[in-house]
Amino acid sequence: MLDLKSLKFRVLDEADEMLNMGFVEDVELILGKVEDVSKVQTLLFSATLPDWVKKISARFLKPNKQTVDLVANEKLKASASVRHLSLSCSHAARPQVIPDVIRCYSRGGRTIMFMETKESASELAGLLSGARALHGDIVQVILAGFRSGRFLVLVATNVAARGLDINNVQLIIQCEPPRDVEAYIHRSGRTGRAGNTGVAVLLYEPKYSYSISRIERESGVKFEHVSAPQPADIAESAGSEAAEAIFNVSDSVIPVFRSHAEQLLSSSGLSAADLLAKALAKAAGYTDIKKRSLLSSMENYVTLLLHAGKPIYSPSFAYSILRRFLPDEKVEGVKGLSLTADGMGAVFDVPTDDVDSFIAGQGNANMVNIEVLQDKDRSRAAGRFGGWGSFAGRRGGGGRFSGGRGDDGSPGRRKGSFASQGKAGRGGGNRSGRRR
Distance CA 17, CA 396 (A): 33
pLDDT in tens, 189-204: 888 877 788 999 999 9
Prediction pTM value: 0.58
CA angle 218, 224, 225 (to 5 degrees): 105
Which of 161, 219, 163 lies closest to 187, judged by CA? 161
Average pLDDT over residues 408-427: 34
Using an 8 Å Cβ cutoff, are 199 and 171 in contact? Answer: yes
Does position 433 have pLDDT exceeding 60, yes or no? no
Distance CA 214, CA 53 (A): 21
Reported as a pLDDT band with limits 50, 70 and 90, residue 80 is: confident
Using an 8 Å Cβ cutoff, are 16 and 49 in contact? Answer: yes
Amino acid occupying residue 88: S
pLDDT of residue 101: 92
Using an 8 Å Cβ cutoff, are 16 and 182 in contact? Answer: yes
pLDDT in tens, 85-144: 999 888 888 888 998 899 888 877 899 999 888 888 888 888 888 888 886 666 778 888
Does position 163 have pLDDT exceeding 70, yes or no? no
Strand partners, 403: 414
Greater confidence, 39 or 417? 39
Which of 272, 284, 289, 271 lies closest to 243, judged by CA? 284
Which of 321, 423, 98 lies closest to 228, judged by CA? 98
pLDDT of residue 304: 92
Reported as a pLDDT band with limits 50, 70 and 90, residue 427 is: very low
Which of 398, 42, 84 lies closest to 226, judged by CA? 84
* Domains located in the chain, CATH noted: 9-60 (no CATH), 82-230 (3.40.50.300), 246-283 (no CATH), 301-372 (3.30.70.2280)
Does position 215 have pLDDT exceeding 50, yes or no? yes
Q: Helices H, strands E: what count in the chain?
A: 14, 18
> What 3-state DSSP class applies to 41?
strand
Distance CA 121, CA 87 (A): 19
CA angle 267, 273, 278 (to 5 degrees): 70
Start-to-end C-alpha separation, the chain? 29
Mean pLDDT estimate for the chain: 76
Amino acid occupying residue 60: F
Strand partners, 122: none
Using an 8 Å Cβ cutoff, are 252 and 215 in contact? Answer: no
The DSSP H or E segment spanning 39 is none
Strand partners, 306: 346, 370
pLDDT in tens, 165-189: 677 899 999 998 988 887 888 888 8
pLDDT in tens, 5-16: 778 888 877 666
| H helices present in 269-311, as ranges | 272-283
Q: Which residues contact 40 (CB under 8 A, 6 or more apart)?
A: 7, 8, 9, 10, 34
Does position 210 have pLDDT exceeding 80, yes or no? yes
